[in-house]
């Protein structure tokens, strides 16, 4: 049963790869993610390894640092220096030209979803 559940989840998620390029940017009619995310591309180029997807996945409180020095911040994420947990909302859940750009820690509900 667990194998079937795992395969189903994998099948569902694999279909997202072909459309993520148009959903991960504020103006998909003008620009898609760069470098492109292909349906058959390497998984090693996704998540925090992808410059634009990393901005969406980044905990909102860490977004400023990521925008200032993305290479340093990505290495902190990858080596566990900055933990990404369920309690730290990702920037993609907030509004802004860059998702989460308008985040105010004192009014964290503003711009949320």
pLDDT digits (tens, 9 = 90+) for 76-106: 888 888 888 878 888 888 887 778 888 888 8
**Residue 90: beta bridge partners?**
59
User: How far is the C-alpha of 90 from the C-alpha of 58, rounded, in Å?
Assistant: 5
- Give the global pTM: 0.69
Q: In which band, very low, low, confident or very high, does the pLDDT at 36 lie, cut at 50, 70 and 90?
A: confident
Token pair, residue 87, equals 């309690």
Measured at the CA of 61, the angle between CA 59 and CA 63, to 5 degrees, comes to 70
HEC per residue, 60-81: HHHHHHHHHCHHHHHHHHHCCC
Maximum Cα interatomic distance, the chain, rounded to a whole number of Å: 46
Q: Per-residue pLDDT averaged across 34-55, rounded?
A: 75
- Decide if 104 contacts 96 (C-beta within 8 A): no
In terms of residues, how long is the chain?
113
How far does the chain reach from its first CA to its final CA, in angstroms?
Answer: 35
Please compute the mean of the pLDDT values over residues 21-47 and round it to a whole number: 72
Nearest residue to 62 (alpha-carbon basis) of 93, 24, 70, 79: 70
């Amino acid at each position: 049963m667990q194998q079937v559940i795992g395969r189903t989840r994998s099948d569902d998620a694999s279909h997202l790869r072909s459309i993520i390029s148009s959903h991960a940017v504020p103006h998909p009619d003008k620009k898609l993610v760069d470098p492109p995310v292909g349906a058959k591309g390497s998984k090693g180029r996704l998540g925090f390894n992808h410059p634009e997807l990393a901005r969406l996945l980044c905990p909102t409180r860490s977004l400023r640092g990521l925008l200032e020095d993305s290479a340093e911040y990505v290495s902190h994420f990858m080596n566990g220096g900055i933990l990404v947990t369920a309690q730290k909302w990702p920037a993609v859940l907030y509004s802004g030209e860059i998702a989460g750009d308008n985040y105010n820690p004192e009014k964290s509900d503003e711009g949320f979803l």
